[in-house]
């Protein structure tokens, strides 16, 4: 699993590469572009592994992202 290590005032945390889907992009194009932008690697995308629905108001960091509601797709690459 590839994760990006980040740090804020509370310490270190990890996120998966990804980003917002631009108009006209399919998921594979979005993921390839995001990986090039974030980790400078052109990836080969294979099978969809799982889908996660994230609702910020139900999360432990609700004060920061209570208005966020997104669908996250994780692929084998």
| Domain spans of the chain, in order of start | 4-75
Burial of 51 (0-12, 13-18, 19+ CB in 10 A): exposed
d(Cα 47, Cα 43) in Å, to the nearest integer?
A: 13
0.75 exceeded by pTM: no
pLDDT tens, residue by residue, 14-71? 988 877 899 999 999 999 999 899 889 999 999 999 999 989 888 877 787 888 898 9
pLDDT of residue 15: 86
Structure confidence at residue 3 (pLDDT):
86
What pLDDT does 44 receive?
93
- The C-alpha atoms of residue 59 and residue 62 are separated, in whole angstroms, by 5
């Amino acid at each position: 699993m590839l994760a990006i290590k980040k740090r804020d005032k509370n310490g270190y945390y990890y996120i998966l590469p990804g980003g917002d889907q631009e108009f006209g992009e399919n998921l594979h194009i979005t993921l390839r572009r995001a990986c090039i932008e974030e980790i400078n690697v052109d990836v080969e995308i294979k099978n969809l592994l799982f889908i996660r629905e994230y609702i910020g108001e139900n999360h432990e960091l609700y004060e920061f992202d209570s208005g966020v509601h997104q669908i996250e797709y994780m692929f084998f690459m």
